[in-house]
Amino acid sequence: MITLSSETAWLCLAVTAVLGGLVLYKLRKSPGQVGRNMVCLAGLWGVVCLLSLPLFWGFVLFSLSCFLLYIYLSGQELLPVDQKAVLITGGDSGIGHALSKYLDQLGFTVFAGVLDDRGPGAEELRRTCSERLCVLQMDVTNTQQIKDAYSTVVQKLQNRGLWAVVNNAGILGLPAEGELIPMSHYKQCMAVNFFGAVEVTKTFLPLLRKSKGRLVNISSMAGGIPFLNLAAYGSSKAALTMFSAIMRQELSKWQVKVSIIQPGGFKTGILGTREMLEKLEKDMLDHLTPDVQEEYGQEFILVQRKWLSNISWFSSSDISPVLLDVQHAISAKSPFTLYAPGSGAYLWLCFFSFSPTGIFDYFNKKLYNFGVKIPRALSTSN
């Protein structure tokens, strides 16, 4: 067993302190939650090393870990803004609206694509943001509007490339069991959440290749986890997640980096207004066949909306974790492939990925079916 002289012990302590200080310094320049999680794991690892190994080797292993973490965090330093240009879709409200304001405050040249360039969200962006921000009329399901937006961006940027595209525009539709959701709702979710993002990406990729910039697609936890009542929304986000993974590999030869954001529960307005939900609910009832209505029962069908209150209960009104992760994705020297902002989001993804299917299904049903009635046919048979 190796014993330490006082001089060697002080030297080990000094080296460890210096490396730890460098790690903390690098951490301050890295926004978002991932870097902080890494430091917490490094601290836990250090305690394990010092308690389970002889003192000398504990210091050596922990110092080596700090050095490797320092190298890792060096890649997370943010590049200077230098008025880099960023296109954001879905800027009318929610994450897209807040992100447009946030990046404008940081000094980026922001192109905010909106569904209605005369709506309250667009007017607020014009009123509160700097002259660098440009509001673009861009319904992501309208090919001509996407082309017009591209022409406007090219005209304003002149010979500069577009640094980043953030595909944020998305809709939730009506949360309900997959059999009850009309085909029109499935198609609308795919049109906005997937095909719209694909067309925007394909249209603006020449500008991203020129700048060797970033493509950031905002998906959802529902794109990686089979949450109940989200068959339409989750399927469209899963398609976007897979598209991002493939594009990340294909665009690497152009030095364009691709990241996917899978946020947890945040209150962004994507649930829609009461009037919108009532319209979607009526549309669902109108498209159900008589035998399906008889099997499920109208009471069960109408109580589906209660699921939204459960979602709201688990959602946070503070969307700053999403904004910080998007900033990191478009600004870091080496952005991450996947970001999962939000309380418990990453744990949920890990739980689904590594737990047996039966265990996940049990907890998923318990969580999302709490207080929900069963279909009429099943209640009658029971």
Is residue 117 domain-shared with residue 235, that is, in the same domain? yes
> What is the predicted pLDDT for the residue at 367?
72
HSE of 362 in the Cβ direction (CA atoms, 13 Å)? 5
Residue with the larger pLDDT of the pair 262 and 24: 262
Average pLDDT of span 243-260: 98
Among this protein's residues, is 150 annotated catalytic? no
- Supply the pLDDT for residue 313: 60
C-alpha to C-alpha distance for 299 and 307, rounded to whole angstroms: 14
On whether residue 304 sits in a domain, the answer given is no
pLDDT computed for residue 271 by the predictor: 64
Percent of the chain with pLDDT over 90: 49
61 and 156 part of one domain? no
Average pLDDT, the chain: 83
Instruction: Dump pLDDT digits (tens) for 175-224.
Output: 888 899 999 999 999 999 999 999 999 999 999 999 999 999 999 998 99
**In a domain? residue 328:** yes
Give the domain CATH number at 140. Answer: 3.40.50.720
Asked if the structure places residue 67 within a domain, the reply is yes
Name the percent of the chain lying above pLDDT 70.
73
Statement to judge: residues 215 and 323 lie in one domain: yes
- Given 74, 99, 122, which residue is the final one in a domain? 74
- Higher pLDDT, residue 352 or 11: 352
Residue 297 counted as domain residue: no
Q: Is residue 48 part of a domain?
A: yes
Long-range Cβ contact pairs of 9-15 (< 8 A, separation 24 or more): 9/55, 12/55, 12/56, 12/59, 12/60, 12/63, 13/59, 15/59, 15/63
> Which pLDDT belongs to residue 80?
92
Residue where one domain finishes, among candidates 36, 54, 74: 74
**pLDDT number for residue 356:** 92
Catalytic residue among 70, 102, 150, 233: 233
- Predicted local confidence at residue 1, as pLDDT: 44
pLDDT digits (tens, 9 = 90+) for 71-111: 666 666 889 998 899 999 999 999 999 999 999 999 999 99
Are residue 62 and residue 118 in the same domain, yes or no?
no
For residue 293, being part of any structural domain is answered with: no
pLDDT at 86: 98
126, 63: one domain: no
What is the tally of structural domains in the chain? 2
> Does 60 share its domain with 187?
no
pLDDT of residue 236: 97
pLDDT at 19 over 70: no
Do 28 and 146 have their domain in common?
Answer: no
109 & 140 share domain = yes
**Lowest-confidence segment of 58-72, 110-124, 316-330, 360-374 by average pLDDT:** 58-72
pLDDT of residue 342: 84
Give Rg (Cα) of the chain: 24
310 assigned to some structural domain: no
Whole-structure pTM value: 0.81
Q: Are residues 119 and 208 in the same domain?
A: yes
Of the residues 33, 48, 74, the one at which a domain ends: 74
pLDDT average, residue stretch 102-123:
96
Q: Which has more pLDDT, 367 or 124?
A: 124
Question: Domain residues for 116?
Answer: 85-269+317-354
What does the pLDDT average to over 146-157?
97
Residue 118 lies in a domain: yes
Q: Is the pLDDT of residue 2 over 50?
A: no
Same domain, 35 and 177: no
33 and 157, same domain (yes or no): no
The model's confidence at residue 307, banded by pLDDT at 50, 70 and 90, is: low
Q: What is the mean pLDDT of residues 356-376?
A: 78
Whether 189 and 53 map to the same domain: the answer is no
